[in-house]
Structure 1
């Protein structure tokens, strides 16, 4: 029911908060948080205000989507599980690739944040994912960094040294 209520609100252009869900389901906020964590562990994103707007201490939905991609999920699977469009997923992957390209060139997280206009939280999460999946997700990482580098070169007309 929790997922259904959240999805229905999202489909109608609204976002519920955990307190709303607790009231609708006549349960405690703690129960809602526990249930949402169980769904998150299964790769299911409940579209609440905190999840969609990256508010609070939870892992960013962008990071969850990138991790699914690095684990080998295809766009259609990610779209179904997270309720994000293919364009959004592509945008998150492009942002992730820029972060890792800049990191590999020796830029600090602060410099990367300024250059990419991403939050410190997202930069830290992306760098953590990169460290975790550098070996096991090497094929996917190579694929996205090579295509991002080419896109950048064609836009700038240079070698892509200055992201």
Structure 2
């Protein structure tokens, strides 16, 4: 991806158009551990009967395989379920939909009271949960991904983040790598929509990562980001020379 940063605008636009084409023609198949569900559209509003509310197909990763097994082995079933709740809600928003606690209970095979208890525990830790019904009339908070990125920028290590968030290190590393790609493309002049297509993420996630970037204006965070982006550029340059 970094090799594309130096392309002329005309070529960069072609890359964006190709990404849009490949996304729009993608397969409807779901992978192992995934489930296709229909959730209320994010822009559906409130006050309608459920049968009259427009829905949107969402691919949910109910079981992330080795990542989930790692969390289960280290922290137990409750922590695994809470990580899954965060992942499912994030995937719903990124795909243009919102889930309710009932939706979560259904796919995780627990009762709604258990989901409510887990949500309360997560919210007490400062985690924003984009649940349907909780999005009306309030400002958007920060998702678990944004919180992890912000704390990483402030100096926390992967191990520290794993212990405090109960997310697998491989997941944390993926969030950070995606964030760095987003920042590199943003600094190269790409719009949020273009960045979303080039990184195969939703615009909502790109906007959230950009908000983290603009909010973290302290010296520690900006220095860490500059160092990591410089490291990515050095790695990319080294790969180019070896080709």
Could you say which TM-score interval applies, normalised by the shorter chain? Answer: 0.5 to 0.7
Q: Helix, strand or coil for the counterpart of 2:196?
A: helix
Please tell me whether residue 36 in structure 1 is matched to residue 119 in structure 2: no
Instruction: Please state how far the C-alpha of 1:94 moved relative to its aligned partner.
Output: 1.3
The 1-side partners of 2:191 and 2:241 are apart by 25
Please tell me whether residue 97 in structure 1 is matched to residue 203 in structure 2: no
Q: How big is the alpha-carbon RMSD for the aligned residues of Structure 1 and Structure 2?
A: 3.5
The normalised TM-score by structure 1 is 0.66
Please tell me whether residue 62 in structure 1 is matched to residue 152 in structure 2: no
1:48 aligns to what?
none
Please tell me whether residue 80 in structure 1 is matched to residue 166 in structure 2: no
Distance verdict in 2 for CA 1:69–1:8, change over 3 Å = closer
The 2-side partners of 1:120 and 1:142 are apart by 23
Instruction: Please state how far the C-alpha of 1:84 moved relative to its aligned partner.
Output: 2.1
Instruction: Please state how far the C-alpha of 1:155 moved relative to its aligned partner.
Output: 4.0
Instruction: Please state how far the C-alpha of 1:135 moved relative to its aligned partner.
Output: 3.7
Distance verdict in 2 for CA 1:36–1:138, change over 3 Å = same
2:204 aligns to what?
121
Which structure is higher in strand share? 2
**Structure having greater relative contact order (Cα 8 Å, sep ≥ 6):** 2
1:143 aligns to what?
227
Distance verdict in 2 for CA 1:111–1:36, change over 3 Å = same
Unaligned runs of 5+ in 2: 1-74, 86-100, 136-140
The normalised TM-score by structure 2 is 0.47
1:6 aligns to what?
78
The 2-side partners of 1:157 and 1:134 are apart by 34
Question: Per-residue displacement from partner, 1:92-129 (whole Å, max 9, x unpaired)?
Answer: 11111111111111110011011111111110111001
Unaligned runs of 5+ in 1: 46-50, 159-163
Q: State the number of aligned residues.
A: 139
Q: Pick the structure with greater CA Rg.
A: 2
